[in-house]
A and B are shown apart, each in its own frame.
Chain A
Amino acid sequence: DVKVTQSSRYLVKRTGEKVFLECVQDMDHENMFWYRQDPGLGLRLIYFSYDVKMKEKGDIPEGYSVSREKKERFSLILESASTNQTSMYLCASSFGQVGTDTQYFGPGTRLTVL
């Protein structure tokens, strides 16, 4: 079975802190994704990557950056956390052409920014 793990289930940070969210997948998938999920807004794509060191902006990239130094790991970085970044963050991975295959999700990180 595909396993996607995220470094923390719950995280509390202060405004202005630099925050790292880590995601690791064990199935050698090319594609990895970061979403945030908010009530009433559904899942929104922040960034995705289809290869090592490659990244593409999603729908809401502002205030975020990403890093993919190794195929199995995709990190989401909040350069200076703000209260409006309080959310559930979901990482996913998929194999093959982006958009055609099943995405496998991690358990999510619930981030609170105070």
Chain B
Amino acid sequence: SQQGEEDPQALSIQEGENATMNCSYKTSINNLQWYRQNSGRGLVHLILIRSNEREKHSGRLRVTLDTSKKSSSLLITASQAADTASYFCATVIQGAQKLVFGQGTRLTINP
């Protein structure tokens, strides 16, 4: 099974609302990263949170990390149509040399 699993798999909200996506993982990590992918394109890095951090902000994005629950959440506030994309969490397992991606949450912002 996946190291990182996003929830929900798909989310549809109205423009202006907040969107929350969750990521759970199984083993101890060095850091956790969130990426966005617009349809049919490459991934774009959004934010990195280290294992000793609990919360991080970047513009309208807020990421939290709870290492005791092995989970993270991505909050997008005041959503815009341009936020329509798939969002992936990726974890770096301690001792490993690679990112492990989840299957993503597909977010649709309705005008």
Residue of B nearest to A35 (CB): B101
Please classify how large the interface on chain B is, using the bins under 10, 10 to 19, 20 to 34, 35 or more.
20 to 34
Contact A103 B45 (CB under 8 A): yes
Instruction: With A42-B101, A56-B97 as known contacts, state yes or no: A99 contacts B42, CB within 8 Å.
Output: no
- Which residue of B2, B40, B45, B48 contacts A42 across the interface (Cβ within 8 Å)? B2
**Given A99-B98, A103-B99: A90 touches B42 (CB 8 Å cut-off):** yes
Inter-chain contacts of B43 with A (CB < 8 A): 43, 90, 92, 103, 105
A40 close to B99 (CB less than 8 A): no
* Chain B proximity of A48: nearest CB distance (Å): 7
- Chain B residues 24-41 with CB under 8 Å of chain A are 30-31, 33, 35, 40-41
7 pairs of residues in contact across A and B, judged by CB atoms under 8 Å: A41-B103, A42-B104, A99-B93, A104-B45, A105-B44, A106-B42, A107-B41
**6 shortest A-B CB distances, which residue pairs?**
A105-B42, A42-B103, A43-B101, A98-B97, A99-B92, A105-B43
Residues in chain B within 8 A of chain A (CB atoms): 2, 30-31, 33, 35, 40-45, 48, 88, 92-93, 96-99, 101-104
